[in-house]
Amino acid sequence: MMRSARPALFAAAALAALAGTAAAQTKVGMITTLSGGGASLGVDTRDGFMLAIEQAGRDDIEVVIEDDERAPDRAVQIADRMIQSDRVDVLTGIVWSNLAMAVVPSGTAQGKFYLSTNAAPAQLAGRGCHPNYFAVSYQNDNLHEAAGAWANQAGYADTFIMAPNYPAGQDALTGFKRFYEGDLAGEVYTDLGQTDYAAQIAEIRASGADSVFFFLPGGMGISFLKQYADAGVDLPLIGPAFSFDQGILQAIGAAALGIRNTSQWSKDLDNEANRAFVAAFEAEYDRLPSLYAAQGFDTANLLLSALDKADIGDPEAFRAALREADFDSVRGDFTFAPNQHPVQDIYVREVIEEDGVFTNRIVGTAMEDRANAYVDDCTMTQ
Amino acid sequence: MSAALIAEQVLNGLQSGVMLFLMAAGLTLVFGVMGLINLAHGSLYMVGAFVAASVAAATGSFLLALAAALAGAALAGAVVERVVIRRLYDRDHLDQVLATFALILIFSEGTRWIFGSFPLYLDVPPWLSGPVELPGGILYPRYRLALIGAGLAVAAGLGLLIGRTRTGIRIRAGENDREMIAALGIDIARLYTLVFALGAGLAGLAGALVGTIQSVQVGMGEPVLILAFVTIVIGGIGSIRGALAGALLVGLTDTLGGIVLPRALLLVTDPATAAATGAALASMAIYALMAAILVWRPTGLFGARPA
């Protein structure tokens, strides 16, 4: 379960040990990806979450952390064990939407709370919404919607759009088109996990587009951006933050410089909570925090704020306390929409080099106080 | 679709084909000579990329990084052969699959332990970066042209090694009759280590060359491994020439299928559906190709006599 000697892990272990004697009142089960290709996302989620728990200095919270290996069946197994044998009160941490779909509906049906640090598929925001399910990150479509809105502001009128052929990829293109007003020079689905984009780059070049929107998270984005820069196509790129995250920017290098991307968080976001978070994260882990770390940190703080107000043994009161979202978000203003997904500003960032490290800075706001497209579909009876 | 676009896509298919050949060559040799199914071949590809990224970061030299990737992966291959693989030759394929799958897990987590969870940086050197203009006004990345050249050069070198040298004769003899060449006084254990290290080195070289324009991360070898298996099945297991033909076929089918199918569907349906369905069909294209070739030639294009 624990693979590296990071301070937060010691803290987690210490908390777990404490729990043995001081009887923890709240048990949190974190299911996240700590091995395999997407491990950096889960590692950051965990580290951000644990940083907030550690800062709170409470000895009545126990966090159980398990690696889902990015496999839905594994995630389900872990969730069952956490619910039935560890008897957790709250589940959190899942990075990928397909894993969330496998775990969340059954978890919430069994009366557990689920606080999402990342994945927030449309199915769980609309008809499948649940009083015990809170997405602290965003709704999956948000960053793509913001990219479409930004394309309008930037005056793009003929955008080439591209995403992997899987549900989140289809949602990405739908999300982009929701607010984009121009024409489409092309619409292409790539393979999930594809590593060579030469064919698509040739198509982009031949399409006569004036800009390119792409959603290629993780390693796919690294490959695409390096190849795009090397191919000498100079059309402006726009994409959601996932391909420009702190964890992977160093691997892309100079090829990412100047590219605009949409995010609801950035390390230079000017508020006190964020400044303190970035400094504390760097001090604790000796690297810059990523979006996933920020989301993990906010999720833990939301949980802590609700625990301060209500007893988790009283679900009604606890749910009401969560809904108030009475915590200092690193994103500044933060409230929940009726379907318990965030209402927040979504920014446009630019990739820059700062003291030899590639990172992002905010250059504009794509959407203000954006909720999500599924609020009306959610008929929670509360 | 303009002629320039088609020409560019053919080059892309060729490039992905020759890189696939580097992977498939080792896989097919190891299977042909030792009768071993090596699932960990993709891990050696990853090892090559990681070694190249570290050496490039430390020295700044791309060529040195490539040499180190080749040597590092070959060394890793030799060690693995001596420690683990050697015990598997007499076992059935299921045991081999199980043990080499375990090797994948060990390599992946070992790599994470050493290098961390975040992808590494490895980029095209300045003297190979940027596009060149080809006849017909095609802008094509210089690095990808270099990849095609490098891949074909390795293919030619491997052809000479297998076809014209004493080592090559032994390797071919090993494919035909293991007991006999052992009886003739050839140190079969050393030959096996050599073949395995050769295959590993080629995989490592491919990992470094391809990793340069992709992402160097844990688990990068497995998707390539699947394609490499398709390639050697198409080409005929054990045949280097078959691996080359299979790799080029797979590379071209994969690339051109992704371009042609969505466009063809556009004639009968709306753009969004055409894009999604076309992409789905294109990803099946190489498997359809494999099935068709196996119906026509059950042992692959250059396969030995029917089993």
Q: Which pLDDT tens digit goes with each residue over A292-325?
A: 999 999 999 999 999 999 999 999 999 999 999 9
| Segment A5-24 mean pLDDT | 50
Number of structural domains in chain B = 1
Distance CA A235, CA A240 (A): 17
Cross-chain Cβ contact A39/B112 below 8 Å: yes
Residue A170 vs residue A91, higher pLDDT: A91
Rg for chain B, CA atoms, rounded: 20
- Is A7-119+270-330's fold the same as A142-264+345-370's? yes
- ipTM summary value: 0.80
Report whether pLDDT(B256) > 60: yes
Q: What percent of chain B has pLDDT over 70?
A: 98
Q: Which of A1, A188, A224, A228 to mutate to test the interface with B (most CBs of B within 10 A)?
A: A188
Contacts of A184 in chain B (CB under 8 A): 271
Give pLDDT, residue B62: 95
Task: Tally A–B CB contacts below 8 A.
Answer: 136
In angstroms, rounded to a whole number, what is the distance separating the alpha carbons of residues B167 and B181? 12
CA distance B109 to chain A (A): 7
Q: What is the 3-state secondary structure (H, E, C) of A223-284?
A: HHHHHHHHHCCCCCEEEEHHHHCHHHHHHHHHHHCCCEEEECCCCCCCCHHHHHHHHHHHHH
Is B281 within the bounds of a domain? no
pTM: 0.83
Domain extents in chain A = 7-119+270-330, 142-264+345-370
Tokens of B14: 């060729």
Q: Is the pLDDT assigned to residue A98 strictly greater than 80?
A: yes
Judged by DSSP in three states, A318 sits in helix
Residue A19 has pLDDT above 50, yes or no: no
| Chain B: closest CA distance from residue A69 (Å) | 12
Mean pLDDT along residues A36-53:
91
Give chain B positions within 8 Å (CB) of A190.
258, 279
pLDDT tens readout for residues A139-162: 999 999 999 999 999 999 999 999
Mutation target among A3, A70, A226, A357 for the B interface, most CBs of B within 10 A: A226
CB contact (8 A) between residue A187 and residue B255: no
Domain, as residue range, for B136 = 3-218
Q: What is the mean pLDDT of residues A340-344?
A: 97
Model confidence at B293, in pLDDT bands (50, 70, 90)? very high
Kindly report the average pLDDT of chain B as a whole number: 90
The pLDDT tens digits for B87-125 are 998 889 999 999 999 999 999 999 989 998 788 888 899
**Fold of the domain built from segment(s) A142-264+345-370:** Rossmann fold (3.40.50)
In order, the DSSP letters of A103-133 are HHHHHHHTT-EEEESS---HHHHTTT--TTE
Q: Predicted confidence band at A381 (pLDDT cuts at 50, 70, 90)?
A: low
Least CB–CB distance from A165: residue in B217, B271, B280: B280
- Report the pLDDT value the prediction gives residue B269, as an integer from 0 to 100: 84
Fold of the A7-119+270-330 domain: Rossmann fold (3.40.50)
Euclidean distance between CA atoms A100 and A76, whole angstroms: 9
Residue-level pLDDT at A5: 45
**Is residue B117 domain-resident?**
yes
Q: What is the pLDDT of residues A210-252, one digit of tens each?
A: 999 999 987 889 899 999 998 889 899 999 999 899 888 988 8
CB atoms within 10 A of CB A146: 29
Confidence bin at A382 (pLDDT 50/70/90): very low
Average pLDDT value over all residues in chain A: 90
Answer yes or no: are the C-beta atoms of B76 and B82 closer than 8 Å: no
* A8: Cα separation from own chain's centroid: 20
Q: Which of A142, A145, A56, A52 is nearest to A92 (CA)?
A: A52
What's residue A20's pLDDT? Answer: 44
In which residue are the tokens 């209500």 written? Answer: A310
What local confidence, expressed as pLDDT, does residue B173 receive?
A: 86
Q: What is the DSSP letter of A210?
A: S
- Shortest Cα distance, chain A CAs vs residue B307, angstroms: 35
CA atoms within 13 A on the CB side of A199: 27
Does residue B15 sit within a domain? yes
Residue A280 has pLDDT above 70, yes or no: yes
According to DSSP, the β-strands at A342-354 and A357-370 are: antiparallel
Average pLDDT for A14-36: 70
Q: Which of residues 219-278 of B touch A (CB under 8 A)?
A: 219-220, 223-224, 255, 258-259, 262, 271-272, 275-276, 278
The per-residue pLDDT for range A360-369, each reduced to its tens digit, is 999 999 999 9
CB contact under 8 A, B15 and A36: no
Q: How far is CA A256 from CA A222, A226, A237, A377, B3, in A?
A: 9, 8, 10, 38, 31
Q: What pLDDT is attached to residue A24?
A: 53
Beta bridge partners of A237: A212
**In this predicted structure, what is the pLDDT of residue A224?**
94
User: Angle at CA B242, nearest 5°, toward B63 and B81?
Assistant: 60
Q: Is residue B258 included in any domain, yes or no?
A: no
In a domain, B47, yes or no: yes
Is A223 in contact with B8 (Cβ distance < 8 A)?
A: no
Q: A248–B215: do the CB atoms touch at under 8 Å?
A: yes
* pLDDT tens-digit readout, B39-85: 999 999 999 999 999 999 999 999 999 999 999 999 999 999 999 99
Which is higher by pLDDT, B34 or A172? Answer: A172
Whether A23 shows a pLDDT value over 70: the answer reads: no
Residue with tokens 């230079």: A268
Instruction: Identify which has the larger pLDDT, B28 or A12.
Output: B28
Q: What gap in Å lies between CA A150 and CA A348, rounded to an integer?
A: 8
- The verdict on B129 touching A (C-beta cutoff 8 Å) is yes
pLDDT of residue B198: 95
B139 to A231: CB separation less than 8 angstroms, yes or no: yes
Partner A contacted by B98 (CB < 8 A): no
More confident residue, A275 or B136: A275
> Mean pLDDT throughout B132-161?
91
CA distance B41 to B37: 9
The Cα B275–Cα B265 span in angstroms is 8
The pLDDT value given to residue A21: 43
> Looking at residue B270, what is its pLDDT?
81
* Residue in B12, B218, B283 closest to A37 by CB: B218
Residue from the list A190, A219, A227 with its beta carbon closest to the beta carbon of B119: A219
From the list B15, B129, B259, which residue is nearest A230 (CB)? B129
Question: Is residue A18 very low, low, confident or very high in pLDDT (cuts 50, 70, 90)?
Answer: very low
